[in-house]
Chain A
Amino acid sequence: MDGKSDVKDKRKMQYQKLRRYFIDDKDCREKDSSHQTQKDFVNDTLVFTPYLDHKLHNKIERWNKKKRWMKDPPEGKQFKSSHGHQNEKVQQQKEFRKKLDPFPGDAPVSQEKIKKYRRGKKLQSTKTRSKLESYKLIEKEERQSLAVIQSARSELLLQEEAGFLEVEEGEDITELTQYDIADVVDITSAQKFFELNLNEFGPYRVNYTRNGRFLLLGGAAGHIASIDWLTKKLLCEINVMETIHDAKWLHQETMFAVAQKQWTYIYDNQGIEIHCLKILDSVLRLEFLPYHFLLASSNSKGYLSYIDVSVGKKVAGISTGLGRLDVMCQNPNNAIICMGHPGGTVTMWSPNVKEPLVKMLCHRAGVRAIAVDHTGQYMVTSSIDRTMKIWDLRTYKIMQSYKLGGGGGHLAFSQRGLIAAGIGNIVEVYNDCINNTMTVPYMMHQLQSTVHGLQFCPYEDVLGVGHGAGFSSLIIPGAGEANYDALEANPFQTKKQRQEAEVKLLLEKIQPEMIHLDAGRIGQMDVKTYHENIEKLQVSRPNKIKFEPKYKMKGKSKGLHKEHRKKGVVEKEKTQFIRDKLKQKQRVDKEKEHTQSQTCGTKSVLDRFIKSAQ
């Protein structure tokens, strides 16, 4: 008896269990009208299903919400599990996993960083021409957002910090001399402060390569020297026995262009003359646009010309009619050339438009120097009236205006937004002077003679100053970008890397037609022609005719009769319209044929009477 009852009990239990299971299951089903069981809810992660049905989307959303809710229910609402053991198991598994990896999954990335790398809005994927394509768009968006997250995450690798200058209380920051700094800093940094005494060949123009490794010095009296300035190794040194107005590196340290008295020459890194560009005569200033491989030069006769260095062709030549062009700089963001004029105006040029894109009146007197920062947001100008003004190039409005002691003859922007001004024989560096009004310069250095060339060395806290008595390399803490991108500009480039980079640069060369004031224009659609095309495509329809039949006696104005009359008129108009259209088309076709036959040269009998051109 005992055994039997035992068996019975067991069965009962089993049954009850099962019943409970099913009841719960049913409840669950009723709750969200889905066929998934509760068990599945907890365990399964809902993989994204490709259906784009809106309803389904919502459903998935609801599921996920529910799942989340079940995993960590809000207080007071406890999720009662029908199978406790199952839940426990899951819990155990979780705990086990916890032990394995205290930080499961990828490291979180802050939203701010993601925002920084995100370009524009998210892709709209709901409205497409086909369902499959919208799925593909979603996938694309997913891939792009992954790229954004990866970029944000890889910011972790940018470990270098920018330098800065700090003085103790009561000490004036401007009093710090280069010698003081050189004494304090480490040996390698101290070596970055040096002076080259080159008294004979007059004031020097300065140019660094894009990676900041090589230095080009062009003395007004014809002395050219290219130096690996970090190791102080001389690459080449020549004297062209002519006046030199400007000297600029081309895309790499293998070539540089020199604007001499009459022509512009190109030399290689051994000082051998490769080209004499006779298209560029009496050039005063040179600018090289590295992504376009364009050498822009401004002339003493007011002629601005662009030469494509990769193919050696002249891309554009614009006679500005603005007189001697000896103040020039480029906007590194959009490759627009800015030029300063004696009328206090600054003009901006692209090779595609024959007139200045923008003409700004910046000063009341002649503009002496211009510089644009690498983001293309700010422009700094200085004038004969000893003012220095900072402009916002997005709005063309003034940001700051300063009066300098002697008036800045030369200006330079550093990668981190420092501004250097050559005032007579003094070089002043201003920090944080764009958004805030600065009263005291950041650093100051006095030279033996007047400044003639000024450039911050990229990726280094160094300012190169060319002057009458040679060249000075000054340490300016916090000037250069601390983290360099080796794919963009590698200061520690090997020969092989340089060669590869050259090929890559040429492959990624941007066409000069893409130069535009709005750098993002190329990513926009040509909306105007698009609309025109659409209009063309649309079939022309006859106008809607508003015709109200006249009232007629004798029952002829009954509803149906009236309608019939109306219809007849409208129909007639329509047919007429179509007939006209057809006629027009035929005429056009005939004309086409005619012209074709003429061009094809089918001979007619009367052709013999046509006088030959000879």
Chain B
Amino acid sequence: MEADIENEEDIKDLSDNEDVFDEKKHNQLLDAITSLDGNKTKRFSHRTIVSKEISEFSFGKSGDDRRVKLYELVGTLKDSASHGTLKKQLKTVARRNKVLPSPLPRHQKEKIERVVAYEKTSKDLCIWDPVVEQNRKAEQLKFPLQQPSFKLQTTDGFVAKFQPRTPLELEIAALLRGSKNIPSKKKELTQAEKEALRAMNLDEAKARRAELQKHRALLSYKEAKSRWQKKIKSKNYHRHLRKERQKKEMKALEEMEKTDPDAYQEKLKQLEKERIEERMSLKHRGGSKYSQKQMIYAKYDKQARQSVQDMIQMSRELRQKTIPLADSDTESEGGVIMDKEDAANMEDSELHVVDDNPWMARPIAHTALYKKPQAFVSAVITDNVNGTVHDGEIKDDTLINSQNENILDDLDNDSNDRHENERESDITSIKTNIEEKGKYTKTRMRKGSQSKKSDLGNEELDIETILSKFDKIENSKNESSETKKRKKRKRKRKNKKGLQKEETTSQEKKKKTNEVDHEENLISEDLQRKKTLEEIEDLNYGVDSDDSQPRKGTEDTKNGETLKKNTKEVYVDPKKLFKLETKILQTSVPDVVSDDDLNDDRQRITIAQAFADDDVIEEFSREKREIRDQQKPKDINLTLPGWGDWGGEGIEPSKKKRKKFTIKAPPVPPRRDKNLGNVIISEAKDKAIASHQVSNLPFPYTSVEQFEQSIQAPIGKTWVPETAFKRLIKPAIVTRLGKIIDPIDKSQVFQNQAHTTKTRKPSKGKIIRATEKAKKSNEFDVHS
């Protein structure tokens, strides 16, 4: 402490500031006093730099986070009489006491803003999620995504959409809707028709209905006809049509003269007026531009000439004075008599009129309309274009048809008979053939058997040689006892199995003869014995086959069974392969051409002798062994002779040492041909195919198996039907060349969605409304 004081004194001396010194000293004293309690209070450190301005840090206690209150600052104002306005203001401020919080630092503020903005935008973008998902999942996307529909609007479609708006339209719609005669597509009959039917009795109704159907059909025919007539471009045809129409008009006029003279007069006046107008104009007399041109062309063009002629004719006709014809009746009647009669018939067949149904109304005014359809019907029936075929003709036709049919039938029958006859004759001929053949075969068979016998003799010889050979092989090759034991065990097992199977088969076939039992016993013995037995069987078979046919079959089956068993053997040793009995084909071999060497007995024996020496099997097994050994990794011997031991010639390192210093080769995975005696399968890696194989698992797959499954199914047209192929190779994205792909249009996408939701929702809405209603009604009930 003293030293400190001394130091301080030095400083003070240097600074020559006594006031400060005093203050400091005073502070130190105060500290000393306060520290007497034992409590260490933190003291605010003073700045020692001298300055005129008083440091603000020295105010108040540092540890205290007490805020400065307003009254503390302004407390002194209370006493003073001046500063009245200021006091007032301060008062109001104190009363309100609503102080804004201090603004956050910029970076914090921005951070918060960013967070909020992110949330908002992600919420906004959320609506796109389903759209994006849909597009990503889509099997095929066709760009541009919003494609205009090029559907042609049908009249039906338009009508269905049409909504009446104007008062006129509304009125018409009301009329139409109100009518009971509007046919609907779904129902066969209109409302009115139904009512009419209801009003009638059943028979009548049926008849009437048939009538109606006929009528409608006729109408549709008419419609169709007029449609195609409209399309006809022939001028000639139209001229005819026009003339006909004119004629009709004339006729109508005549009729009008009788029935309605006033109208007739008016009509005449009208005609007169037309005539006058025609006379006035130069329309048909070379006045128009068209006719002038035609006149110029007429010199060279036949058609133009014709058209000019026509025009002149037309003008002449038009300018002619209309003279009412009195004798036209007689002229016109001839052609239409039939029709009229028909019409009358039809009228007769009409049923009672029902007022409100137009179909029921007696078609007085439409007789003309009736006439044509009649003709149509006939046309339809006979497929005649003229459409004026008499009933008689039709009948004739049908007659002819029926006759034709009869004739055809007859013809058929004849042919059938002939065929039958032929067949019969064929059959008889075949029978005779067969009989002949039978004889032939019999003779053949005998021959065959003879040859077989000789064959068998040879076979015996062969077998003997083979047997001797096998014996040799077995003797020469001393197999280890262990393997032998194993084989024995195997054989036993097999035999057991064989026995069981044999038993089951025998049970099935129910052939419990002694012979079979005997056979079973023999079969259960080892391979060689069995072989000999089969030989015996074959011999028997060869002898028997001549006299008894049915027995042959059983023998065959037996042979088959035994042989099958043979084939089921597993061959580890290649020798076993040749222990398998070769089956002699029981063929009725025809006499082979004598110059064929191979059939010669002597030759055969010599061949057998020739190949007796080269031991194919031994050679093969040796080769296999060699290959196996070659590919086996060898042990590495690291023993050093003489190291830590006696060395020199004739001294071998001890067994223990050898064992210690040999590095054993890792075990080899078993060869693929381990269990196949007669096969060497190369273990060499085929590296070539690796370049075409996939060596890394592609993206979405998680296992090799899964990937392999995904590529196992063929895609090509060669393996898959066309439709499936098209589906399999459907491109994921389709764009049109030169078509700009606009960014996805929000308004359109969500308009559609909104539409769909609107269409879906109403059911719910209805329910809600219904519940409300229900509630109300309930309330109503309660109240009442």
Task: List residues of A whose CB falls within 8 A of some B CB.
Answer: 8, 11-12, 14-15, 18-19, 22, 50, 119-124, 127-130, 132-137, 139-140, 143-144, 146-148, 150-151, 153-154, 168, 170-172, 174-175, 343-345, 350, 352-365, 384-387, 396-407, 423-426, 428, 436-441, 444, 446, 449-450, 485, 487-488, 508, 511-516, 521-527, 529-530, 533
Chain A residues with Cβ under 8 A from B617's Cβ? 361, 364
* Contact present for A487 and B718 (CB under 8 Å): yes
Among the listed stretches B46-54, B191-199, B205-213, B571-579, which one makes contact with chain A, having 4 or more residues with CB under 8 Å of it?
Answer: B571-579
Q: Is the CB of B679 within 8 A of A358?
A: yes
A129 to chain B, nearest CB (A): 5
Majority SS at the chain B contact face? helix
Give the complex CA separation of A384 and B614 in angstroms: 14
Determine if B770 is an interface residue (Cβ-Cβ < 8 Å): yes
B596 lies within 8 A of A450 (CB) = yes
Q: What are the 10 A-B residue pairs with the smallest beta carbon separation, nearest first?
A: A133-B700, A147-B724, A352-B688, A513-B688, A526-B693, A424-B596, A361-B678, A150-B724, A11-B777, A529-B695
- Beta-carbon contacts under 8 Å, B703-749 to A: 703-714, 716-721, 723-725, 727-728
- Whether A358 contacts B781 by the Cβ 8 Å rule is no
Nearest CB of chain A from residue B775's CB, rounded to whole Å: 9
Contacting residue for B695 out of A439, A513, A526, CB 8 A: A526
Whether the Cβ atoms of A424 and B777 lie closer than 8 Å is: no
Given A11-B781, A175-B441, A365-B611, CB of A359 within 8 Å of CB of B706 = no
B317 on interface, CB distance cutoff 8 Å: no
B681 on interface, CB distance cutoff 8 Å? yes
Complex alpha-carbon distance, A516 and B440, angstroms:
53
Q: How far is the CA of A135 from the CA of B134 in the complex (A)?
A: 12
Within 8 Å of chain A (Cβ to Cβ): is B564?
yes
Given contacts A15-B777, A139-B139, A147-B713, contact A364 B616 (CB under 8 A): yes
- Convert B93-135 into 0s and 1s, putting 1 for each residue whose CB lies closer than 8 angstroms to a CB of A: 0000000000000000000000000000000000000000100
Tell me if B784 counts as interface (CB < 8 A to partner A): yes
Partner of B620, one of A356, A361, A515: A361
Q: Say yes or no: A406-B592 contact (C-beta < 8 A), given A130-B700, A154-B721.
A: yes
**Interface 9-mer from B26-34, B78-86, B176-184, B581-589:** B581-589
B702 interface residue (CB < 8 Å to A): yes
Q: Contact: B592 with A437, CB < 8 Å?
A: no
* Cβ A129 vs Cβ B777 within 8 A: no
Given contacts A345-B620, A406-B598, contact A143 B728 (CB under 8 A): yes
Q: What is the bound-complex CA distance between A354 and B105, given in angstroms? A: 80
B695 and A120 contacting across the interface, CB-CB below 8 Å: no
Determine the chain B residues whose CB is within 8 A of the CB of A450 once the complex forms. 596
**Residue on B nearest A22 in the bound complex, by CB:** B771
User: Is the CB–CB distance between A530 and B689 below 8 Å?
Assistant: no
Q: List 22 A-B contacts (CB under 8 A).
A: A15-B774, A119-B714, A127-B702, A133-B699, A136-B700, A147-B720, A147-B724, A154-B721, A171-B438, A175-B441, A344-B620, A356-B680, A361-B679, A364-B616, A396-B673, A402-B584, A425-B593, A426-B590, A437-B564, A437-B583, A440-B587, A513-B692
Q: A-contacting residues of B (Cβ < 8 Å)?
A: 133, 136-137, 139, 434, 437-438, 440-441, 444-445, 455, 459, 556, 559-560, 563-564, 567, 570-571, 574, 577-578, 580-590, 592-593, 596, 598-599, 604, 607-608, 611, 614, 616-617, 619-620, 623, 673, 676, 678-682, 684, 686-697, 699-714, 716-721, 723-725, 727-728, 770-771, 773-774, 777-778, 780-781, 784
**Chain A: which residue is nearest B676 at the CB level?**
A396
Bound together, the chains give a CA A526 to CA B697 distance in angstroms of: 10
Query: Least Cβ distance of A286 to chain B in Å?
Result: 23
Cα separation A137 to B699 with both chains bound (whole Å)? 12
For A19, list chain B residues within 8 Å (CB).
774
The CA-CA distance from A317 to B689 in the complex, in Å, is 18
State in angstroms the CA–CA spacing of A397 and B455 once bound together.
Answer: 29
Distance in Å from the Cβ of B715 to the closest Cβ of chain A?
A: 8
Query: Once the chains bind, are B701 and A128 in contact (CB under 8 Å)?
Result: yes
In-complex Cβ contact of A122 among B441, B709, B780 (8 A): B709
Chain A residues closer than 8 Å to B725, beta-carbon distance: 147
Contact of B583 among A14, A144, A402 (CB under 8 A): A402
Measured CA separation A133–B137 after assembly (Å): 9
Report the Cα distance A64→B617, complex, angstroms.
66
Q: Is A404 a contact partner of B714 (Cβ separation < 8 A)?
A: no
What's the nearest-Cβ distance from chain A to residue B644, in Å?
A: 35
* Contact assessment for B681 and A147 in the assembled complex, using a CB-CB cutoff below 8 Å: no
Give the distance to chain B from A364, nearest Cβ to Cβ, in Å: 5
- B593 to A424, Cβ gap below 8 A? yes
- B720 contacts A151, C-beta separation under 8 Å: yes
Question: Are A359 and B714 touching (Cβ within 8 A)?
Answer: no
* In the complex with contacts A18-B770, A360-B678, A361-B620, A127-B706 CB distance below 8 A: yes
A502 to B688, CA, bound (A): 27
B588 adjacent to A151 (CB under 8 Å): no
User: Quick one: given A441-B585, A522-B689, are A384 and B607 in contact (CB under 8 Å)?
Assistant: yes
Contacts of B784 in A (CB 8 A): 8
Q: Is the CB of B708 within 8 A of A523?
A: yes
| 8 additional contacts (CB under 8 A) given A8-B784, A437-B560 | A15-B774, A144-B713, A356-B680, A358-B681, A364-B617, A396-B681, A398-B580, A525-B704
Chain A residue with Cβ nearest B764:
A37
User: How far is it, in angstroms, between the C-alpha of A53 and the C-alpha of B273 when the chains are bound?
Assistant: 87
Return chain B residues, CB-CB under 8 Å to A398. Answer: 567, 571, 577, 580
B559 & A439 in contact (Cβ 8 Å cutoff): yes
In the bound complex, what is the Cα–Cα distance between A390 and B629 (angstroms)?
30
> Within the assembled complex, what's the spacing in Å between the Cα atoms of A530 and B139?
31
A430 to B156 CA separation, bound complex (whole angstroms) = 70
- A424, B592: Cβ atoms under 8 Å? yes
Most chain B CB inside 10 Å of its own CB: which residue of A350, A406, A407, A529? A406
Complex CA distance for A327 and B264, rounded to whole angstroms = 110
Bound CA–CA A322/B604 (angstroms): 26
Distance A514 CA – B709 CA, assembled complex (angstroms)? 19
How many angstroms between the C-alpha atoms of A513 and B690 in the bound complex?
9
User: Contact: A397 with B620, CB < 8 Å?
Assistant: no
B571 x A397 contact (CB < 8 A)? yes
Q: Assess the B720–A150 pair: CB atoms within 8 A.
A: yes
What is the CA–CA distance of A515 and B452 in the complex, to the nearest angstrom?
46
Chain A's nearest CB lies how many Å from the CB of B257?
Answer: 58
Contacts of B623 in A (CB 8 A): 359
Known: A364-B616, A404-B585. A524 touches B437 (CB 8 A): no
Q: Are A353 and B682 in contact (CB-based, < 8 A)?
A: yes
CA distance A128 to B437 in the complex (A): 72
| Separation of A511 and B693 alpha carbons in the complex (Å) | 12
Residues of B within 8 A of A14 (CB): 773-774, 777
Q: Measured between C-beta atoms, what is the minimum distance from B222 to chain A in Å?
A: 30
Contact check: which of B585, B598, B620, B688 meets A403 at CB < 8 Å? Answer: B585
User: Whole-angstrom distance between the alpha carbons of A170 and B434 in the complex?
Assistant: 9
Q: Are A121 and B690 in contact (CB under 8 A)?
A: no
Q: How far is the CA of A262 from the CA of B716 in the complex (A)?
A: 42
> In the assembled complex, how far is the CB of residue B141 from the closest CB belonging to chain A, in whole angstroms?
13
Are A352 and B727 interface neighbours, CB within 8 A?
no
Query: Which single member of A148, A150, A356, A399 contacts B723 (CB below 8 Å)?
Result: A150
Complex CA distance for A521 and B593, rounded to whole angstroms? 49
Shortest CB-to-CB span from A445 to chain B, Å, is 10
**Which A residues touch B586, using CB under 8 A?**
439-440
Q: Which residues does chain A contribute within 8 Å of B589, judged by CB atoms?
A: 405, 426
Contact B770 A168 (CB under 8 A): no
Bound CA–CA A446/B587 (angstroms): 14
- Nearest-CB residue, chain A, relative to B709: A123
Q: How far is the CA of A508 from the CA of B714 in the complex (A)?
A: 14
Closest to A154 in B: B721
Given A170-B438, A405-B585, A406-B596; A446-B590 close (CB under 8 Å): yes
Q: How far is the CB of A519 from chain B (nearest CB, A)?
A: 11
| Known contacts A15-B778, A361-B620, A384-B607; A530/B682 CB under 8 A | no
Q: How far is the CA of A399 from the CA of B566 in the complex (A)?
A: 9
- Which residues of B have CB within 8 Å of A387? 582
CA distance A437 to B689 in the complex (A): 39
